[in-house]
Every structure is written in structure tokens, then in C-alpha cells.
Amino acid sequence: MRLPIVRKPIRVNPDSRRVIARFFFNGNDRAKQVLQKVMVISEDTAFGIVSPLLQEYSKRHRNITRVLNRHCSKLKPLFEELGVDFDTLTVYRKLLIGSYFTHEYSIESAAFFNPSIVDDPDQTELEDGQRRVIMSFRAVGEGHISSITFRRALFDKDNNITVLPAGNYIDEAEIVRNAVYNKKLFFEKAVTTQINIDVLKELESKLDHHFEYSNLRRIILDSQKLQENDIYKLEYDKILWLADSYYEIVFSLDTD
């Protein structure tokens, strides 16, 4: 049985204006230099810089203050090294610091391809013969970093397609690390990745039966500093990579 296919004149095009605000970091030394310069700015100057910045960026990002605060918080270890109490920083200074470590990234600027389609779980309030669908695409931005993007579309009873406009605001998912690891399960998995058994035994002896990600990371970095063998240092990196592989992603409920 032959199945006739009619190509529709509908095109889904990339939009280079769709940007996310990503964390920008160019190394500890440069970051410290930036922090030291921002810390000597007066409060009035900081407010004067941040106010127009927020007005401009809020046109492209739904909650830019949350983003800037999050990026500023990532620098807490550097503040400690500089002898600065992070909690004493004013709201506008934190926002200003966060802006220095933020850059806009266009997720669809280089390529837009690999479409797929599934039924939308929400099929309510439709006319007879209509079907609501969700399409996914692989979007490639600057630096050839890939993202998965989505569009909604509507089929009518005659198979005509209406692609709904993309939302104006997009955001990165927030990564949530597993708060607590089970030592037995974690190291059983580590053995299967062919990490050096001596390194695994050393770390296993330093951890409780249940441990947090932050504790594991601290022990790994401390042990790595004491290790003179470069090959063994790579083994510690493998364990850290394994720990970093266990996470959940969470999107804000108001993200497009």
C-alpha cells in the first residue's frame, strides 16, 4: 500500500534572539582581579551601574536578578580567599559582581535541525479533528554547543499545521546534585569504571556509610594535592567525574 505524502510549506526557523544568561568564568586569578576592583567601587556607583543594566537585561530574561545572584554565589570560595565576608555585601554590589560573571549565549545562532514530534499531553479545549503536538529540535549555538529546544504546533482535521510562536524567555536548568550518597553503591559503580583500586580504597576508608557530595569533593581535592604521581591524580579526577554524573535538573515553572 502506497502512502502519499504532501510536503507542507511550513518552516520552523531558528531565532538568534533567544538567549540564555550563562555563568562566565575565566580562571581564579582573573576573577579575583575583577572582584578586587568591584569591591572598591562606592555603593552609589554600584547602584548607578546596576540600575540600567537590570532594565536592559530584563527585556530578554524573566528573572535576571535571580540569575545574577546565583552567579555571584558561585564565587563564594574566592571571597573567602580574599578575606571578604560574602554575607556583608549589599544587594546591588552582589548584582554588579554577578553581572561581571554573566554572558548572554544565543542557543540557536549556528544551526537548527533534527526535528522529532510527539503528542502534547494536554489535548484539552480543542475542536473536532484537532491535535496538539510538541516538536523538539537540536539547536546549536556559539562554540557549537548543542541544546534541545521545543515548539508547540496544532494540526487541524485537514492536516494543516500551525506552529505556535516560541516563548520570549528561556533559561538553563538548575543542576541539583544528589545530596547524600550511599558508599557501598557508589564504590561498586566506581569499580566498574576501572578506576585504580588503590585510590578507591583510600577514599572509601575516609568516607562514612552515607556522605554528601561536598564532603566527597573536599576529600578528593585534598588527597589529590598530596599525590605526586600525575597518573594517580587523573584517577581522582575520574572519581570526581563519576560523582558529578549523578544529578537532577530542575526548570523554573515559569520558564518557556
> Could you report the per-residue pLDDT of 107-151, keeping only the tens digit for each?
999 999 999 999 999 999 999 999 999 999 999 998 899 999 999
Which amino acid, 142?
E
* Domain encompassing residue 207: 176-248
203 within 8 A of 186, measured Cβ to Cβ: no
User: 136: which strand partners?
Assistant: 116, 150
Is residue 12 included in any domain, yes or no? no
- Contacts of residues 214-218 at CB distance under 8 Å and 24 or more positions apart, as own/partner, are 216/181, 216/243, 217/243
Tell me which residue of 150, 152, 121 sits closest to 137, measured CA to CA.
150
Same domain, 92 and 123: no
Is residue 53 included in any domain, yes or no? yes
Global pTM? 0.73
Same domain, 36 and 50: yes
pLDDT at 207: 93
Is residue 10 included in any domain, yes or no? no
Given a cut of 90, whether residue 168 has pLDDT beyond it is: no
Same domain, 202 and 222: yes
pLDDT in tens, 71-99: 999 999 999 999 999 999 999 999 999 99
Is residue 7 included in any domain, yes or no? no
* Residue of 51 and 176 predicted with greater confidence: 51
Is residue 254 included in any domain, yes or no? no
Question: Which pLDDT band holds residue 179 (cuts at 50, 70, 90)?
Answer: low
Given a cut of 90, whether residue 178 has pLDDT beyond it is: no
Same domain, 26 and 95: yes
Same domain, 73 and 121: no
* Residue of 206 and 245 predicted with greater confidence: 206
pLDDT at 205: 94
Is residue 77 included in any domain, yes or no? yes
Same domain, 44 and 101: yes
* Residue of 169 and 256 predicted with greater confidence: 169
Domain count, the chain: 3
Buried b (16+ CB within 10 A) or exposed e, 22-41: beeeeeeeebeeebeebeee
pLDDT at 254: 65
